Amino acid sequence: MRKITFEINAFEQFNYWANTDKKILKKILLLLKDTQKISLLD
């Protein structure tokens, strides 16, 4: 499994959603998980 890295701005936005809206955070986490699955197929 590949390591996920964030640009500083993206990490700040990730933290914002983590503290503000758990529903959006869950969607972001699902997208990250799907992205990792796709990268494993390459």
pLDDT tens, 1-42? 678 888 999 999 999 999 999 999 999 999 999 888 876 665
Is residue 40 within 8 Å of 1, Cβ to Cβ?
yes
The pLDDT of residue 35: 86
The pLDDT of residue 21: 96
pTM: 0.74
The pLDDT of residue 23: 96
The pLDDT of residue 18: 95
Helix residue ranges, H only, the chain = 8-20, 22-41
Compute the half-sphere exposure of residue 2: CA atoms within 13 Å on the CB side of its CA.
14
The pLDDT of residue 2: 73
